Amino acid sequence: MPEAIYPTLVQCAIVAGAFKVLLFPAYKSTDFEVHRNWLAITHSLPIQNWYYEDTSEWTLDYPPFFAYFEWLLSQCARWVDPAMLRIDNLNYDSWSTVAFQRSTVILTELVLVYALHRITASSPTKPTTHTAALSILLSPGLLLIDHLHFQYNSLLYGLLLLSLHLAHRPRSLLPSALLFAALLCFKHIYLYLAPAYFVYLLRVYVLHPGSVVRIRLANAVKLGTGLLAVFAAAFGPFAYHGQIPQLLTRLFPFSRGLCHAYWAPNVWAMYSFTDRVLIFVAPYLGLQVDPDAVNSVTRGRVGDTAFAVLPPIHPRTTFLLTLTFMLIPLIKLFAQPTAANFHGALILCGYASFLFGWHVHEKAILLVLIPFSLLALKDRRYLGAFRPLAVAGHVALFPLLFTPHEFPIKVVYTVLWLVLFLFAFDRLAPVSPKGRVFFLDRFSVLYLAVAIPLICYCAVVHELVFGTRLEFLPLMFISSYSALGVVGSWLGFMVVYLAD
Amino acid sequence: MSSLNHNSHKPRRKSRELGSAASHGLLYTDPVTQEKKPLFPLVGFLGPAKVTISKWIIFPIILMVVGLFRWATTFWGYSGHQKPPMFGDFEAQRHWMELTIHLPVSQWYFYDLKWWGLDYPPLTAYHSWVLGKIGSLVNPSFFELDTSRGLESEELKVFMRASVLLSEYAVYIPAAISFMRRFSHSQGVGKWDFLIAVTAVLMQPATILIDHGHFQYNTVMLGFVLASMSGLMADNLLWSCVWFIAALGFKQMALFFAPAIFAYLLGKCVFPKFSFGRLVSIAVTTIVSFAILCFPLLLGSLYNYRRGLPLPTTATGTPPPPLLSDLPFDIPDGSAIYPFVLQLSQAHHRIFPFARGLFEDKVANLWCALHTFHKLHIYPSALLQHVSLALTLLLILPPCIILFLKPQRSSIPLAFATTAWGFFLASYQVHEKNVLLPLLPMTVLLSGSGGLALRLRSWIGFANILAAWTLFPLLNRDGLAVPYVVLTLLWAWLLGLPPVSWHLYLPGRRVVDEPGLHWAEAIIHSAFYIAMVGWHICEAFIAPPYNKPDLWVVLNVLIGAAGFSLCYTWCLGMLMVQSGYWRNPFLSKPKVKFQ
């Protein structure tokens, strides 16, 4: 029996669980009401009405498996407080409803614990994997988004990691693929990672290892029927009622703007920031300024983003850019289809969609952060790319929670995590077999150093100096700063990935 | 993260440094897998600290973790939350900030006494003044005179909660670390064990729940007491006096420790050889610190007097305290010293309210327990006061005499705990929250020699769990039932205590050269734990009989009083054994000798 490492995953899960229970009465966003409403919809309506119901503005816009999951939860909710299952009972948040919904998040997190346990148990480098697993389990991102803001990401990322784990062994490729398909039917945001799965499965499972033109028919049939079965289980009932178009309009609302309410730290945040700066510089450069746009750039509101100086961005542009930057790692994956390359390509697909995508949520950074955590300890070059991402990704989540009571929680917890794990990672990451990139090291140190004054400014100084004026400024600083970190870490990781 | 077994691959010198006498007692060998495992989960959590001891990393991490648990507790209810007309402790503390920043010092102890009149010693008043000033910078409406009464805005709550946390981090935590470091060092305890003990002490459920849940500033007073104990550890007797006066000046309940500290200091002056100089310097330091403590209060009276302003009794309409007329000499109210005597006697009258009953509400001490079977209020109050004084003296004399005759550093926590238990059990006007006082010196024993081993851990754990349990009726009223369950179970789990783990009382997980618990100890503890769990089940699901609506609370008091009496007896017994006054095979000395 392998020697246990302390503290164990379960021990950490217990302490974290105690902490999360204490946070029950803390701030919850509208997502809490969203999920309560879904409980009500799935519980009280026949299945063919689920995607038509619109009493609440928070209509069901997740794929069917998630709706089934809510239905399952609603079967328990009935015994706790039936009032939460009434569709017209908008914004209902009795103590028992809060306790019930919060506990389901904690309980479903066990899926993540299980996935991490599987990953650690089979790892050849146990101490490092164990640390990486703990860093995911205790991730401030998951704490802030799931246990305060309210979502079920730990469950979904648990499924993703399980699928990723299965993909590392040739024998379990098929279950991995089916699990990922099921995950897509839980939440379609994982479509961003699908290209990596597609290329990897195609090359390793469907095509012959020796030649890329020969198809392994048995495998192709198995995979095809499997996928079909999964999707049929999810969408079948709705297809039967002829509701697929309605379902798709709910899942893909294309009427949204380029940037989300808060600016996700991506290329477009930097683009908007440049535009803002150019407003002041443009007169000297002789550039045209669109006067309408000067006061209308996304200021914490969902809507169309208008730029004052720079050319507007079309969805097609973002799509093409995303695709281009996905293709680079995918080509390498196709040429050298190893599990490690697959893992790297998956992360890079997450990066590309986060950095260049249309209407990206800041929460989507978890798509990169969580898979990357498992790879960060491969050697020091990976760690160098991971560090700015760990800082930027978490700092970018700060605007999600803006109430003063939660402020110490989000800041102290994140600082604790960064101190603990960046220190532990630094001790554990092995020396790289190849040369390190000088620039990357300096960049990550400098980057870390800037974070402290920036957070102080945004938390305290800005309000003291400007009061309620220029409210968007701290948000813009945070997202531009974080965007720099994410882009920096992306470039760094891309270089390491392609060089390996 | 690292494996615990890492140690075995290290050079020998290193391992001796890390794993001191008691240290190897924290791992046990699994009989099946022959693997070394931590004895209780907290050891596992600090496992990585065993090889990576950089205090610059480990201390910030511990402080952040305990801080997060404290802050998470603040999301729950507090004393008087949404309970008009009087609200509770939260409003009392807020009101003191309001009155100290708006009124002249001379009126602090006189102003509108019906609405949470100030009844804590002056240092609390100054502390409130500072916090009130800061709070008014944040938002002036927090502490508007009279109009802010009963304010419960979200912003105010965050401010008040933060003030408790910051006061604790300014006083209690440095003092706790300083005391435990000196204590563990003097007992030859290794760094790793020290870190484990620090974490355990800072996670103590009862303290977190009362200060950050119920809402009080106990940790400031407890911190000063620890600072004073730390001074004794370092033989800084004069500083110790100063800190102790600060503790008394913050909350009069620090008197629980006064006889012990007095006995120790006196013993230090007399043994091994009488030192008159030391005695005088201690006396002078104490008097001077006390004078400094009262100085602002008297300065306020002086200011009024020189300006010819009316006396506070006239200004606020509060009658002069009865104490003033009881004085053996008569002071005419026109005389120059009258304002000062009036001020001090009013403060004294407010701080020591003998007019109140023998015990407050339901508290797990001897009087309240006795009251269940034999109603005490039929006796005159003066008689009860005398009886309670006599019994208290009887209980605190043995530890104080031991401390006086043998003033050794290793006795300090046990003697302090015994004295405080004596007070808690038998003295006048005790609150259920006062259990934090005897608990503190008992819990810091974790950092001493053998502190994390079987016997001490089981008794310290027993006292802590029992104390938290006796606080449950109070916490439940404040809406703190969930944090109570979470924090208490978490602590029990971390330290390997029932009701989560029974390994202390079962054979099997035993470290080789460690004496086990006596079977009687195991049975008594187990009985108490079972009673506590059973009580919770009954309280939650069975309504008390119609004619005995307080049945569960009374049972809680009875069990609590019995358990605390045991704690008193155990502390006294250990103190006697350890100071060599009693050779008792039952309380056999641990293998590792106390110094």
* Residue B46: burial class (beta carbons within 10 Å; 0-12, 13-18, 19+): buried
Give the minimum alpha-carbon distance from B526 to chain A in angstroms, rounded to a whole number.
24
What would the pLDDT profile of A380-432 be if each residue is shown by its tens digit? 889 988 999 999 999 889 888 889 999 999 999 999 999 999 989 988 888 88
User: Is the CB of B1 less than 8 angstroms away from the CB of A18?
Assistant: no
**Which residues neighbour A82 within 8 Å (Cβ) at sequence distance 6 or greater?**
none
Given a cut of 80, is residue B509 above it in pLDDT? no
3-state class of A207 per DSSP?
strand
Over residues A87-98, the mean pLDDT reads 94
Contact in structure between B352 and B548 (CB atoms under 8 Å): no
pLDDT band per the 50, 70, 90 thresholds, residue A314: confident
Please give the C-alpha separations between residue B460 and each of B439, B452, B488, B518, in angstroms, as whole numbers.
Answer: 8, 10, 14, 16
**Which residues neighbour B157 within 8 Å (Cβ) at sequence distance 6 or greater?**
A405, B74, B78
Can you give the pTM of this predicted structure?
A: 0.94
Give the minimum alpha-carbon distance from B157 to chain A in angstroms, rounded to a whole number.
9
Given a cut of 50, is residue B7 above it in pLDDT? no
Given a cut of 80, is residue A79 above it in pLDDT? yes
Given a cut of 80, is residue B594 above it in pLDDT? no
Whole-angstrom Cα distance, residue A7 to residue A134?
A: 9
Over residues A182-202, the mean pLDDT reads 96
3-state class of A292 per DSSP?
helix
> Where is average pLDDT lowest: A6-20, A65-79, A245-259, B198-212?
A245-259
Alpha-carbon A491 to chain mean position: 19
Give the minimum alpha-carbon distance from B506 to chain A in angstroms, rounded to a whole number.
22
CA B583, B586, B592, B593: dihedral to nearest 10 degrees? Answer: -20
Of B4, B57, B76, the CB nearest to A25: B76
Cβ–Cβ pairs < 8 A, chains A and B: 103
Give the minimum alpha-carbon distance from A184 to chain B in angstroms, rounded to a whole number.
34
3-state class of A148 per DSSP?
helix
pLDDT band per the 50, 70, 90 thresholds, residue A84: very high
Identify which of B37, B40, B38, B52 has the alpha carbon closest to the alpha carbon of residue B1. Answer: B52
What would the pLDDT profile of B55-108 be if each residue is shown by its tens digit? 788 999 999 999 999 999 999 999 988 888 889 899 999 999 999 999 999 899
Which positions in chain B touch A4 (Cβ < 8 Å)? 3, 35, 37
- pLDDT of the residue at A256: 66
- pLDDT of the residue at B586: 57
The structure tokens 């507790």 sit at B73
The structure tokens 């860093």 sit at A135
Alpha-carbon B580 to chain mean position: 28
Contact in structure between B82 and A441 (CB atoms under 8 Å): no
Residue in A with minimal Cα distance to B76: A25
- pLDDT of the residue at B339: 86
* Residue A496: burial class (beta carbons within 10 Å; 0-12, 13-18, 19+): buried
Using an 8 Å CB-CB cutoff, list residues of chain A that contact chain B. 1, 3-8, 11, 14-15, 18-19, 21-26, 127, 130-131, 134, 403-405, 408-409, 412-413, 415-416, 419-420, 423-424, 427
Select the more confidently predicted residue: B591 or A259. A259
Contact in structure between B189 and B451 (CB atoms under 8 Å): yes
Side-chain half-sphere exposure of B159, counting CA atoms within 13 A: 23
- pLDDT of the residue at B15: 35
Whole-angstrom Cα distance, residue B278 to residue A292?
A: 82
Tokens of B329: 């000499």
Whole-angstrom Cα distance, residue B475 to residue B496?
A: 24
Output the average pLDDT for chain A: 89
Over residues B361-387, the mean pLDDT reads 86
pLDDT band per the 50, 70, 90 thresholds, residue B260: very high
What would the pLDDT profile of B192-243 be if each residue is shown by its tens digit? 999 999 999 999 999 999 999 999 999 999 999 999 999 999 999 999 999 9
Of A7, A14, A416, the CB nearest to B61: A416
The amino acid that residue B570 corresponds to is W
Kindly state the DSSP code that residue B20 receives in the 8-state scheme: -
Whole-angstrom Cα distance, residue A213 to residue A209?
A: 10
Whole-angstrom Cα distance, residue B176 to residue B229?
A: 10
Does the N-terminal peptide bond of residue A453 adopt cis geometry, omega within 30 degrees of 0?
no
Of B35, B43, B64, the CB nearest to A3: B35
Residue in A with minimal Cα distance to B480: A22
Domains of chain B, by residue range, sit at: 89-160
What would the pLDDT profile of A126-146 be if each residue is shown by its tens digit? 889 999 999 999 999 999 999
Q: In the beta sheet, which residues pair with residue B38? A: B27
- pLDDT of the residue at A463: 76
Residue in A with minimal Cα distance to B77: A25
- pLDDT of the residue at A311: 84
Whole-angstrom Cα distance, residue A247 to residue A356?
A: 26
Q: In the beta sheet, which residues pair with residue A6? A: B2
**Which residues neighbour A222 within 8 Å (Cβ) at sequence distance 6 or greater?**
A174
Q: In the beta sheet, which residues pair with residue B37? A: B28
pLDDT band per the 50, 70, 90 thresholds, residue A296: low
- pLDDT of the residue at B10: 35
Tokens of B382: 């003066």
Residue in A with minimal Cα distance to B154: A405
Phi, psi of B37 (to 5 degrees): -125, 150
- pLDDT of the residue at B125: 96
Which positions in chain A touch B76 (Cβ < 8 Å)? 22, 25
3-state class of A360 per DSSP?
strand
Give the minimum alpha-carbon distance from B51 to chain A in angstroms, rounded to a whole number.
12
What would the pLDDT profile of B150-175 be if each residue is shown by its tens digit? 899 999 999 999 999 999 999 999 99
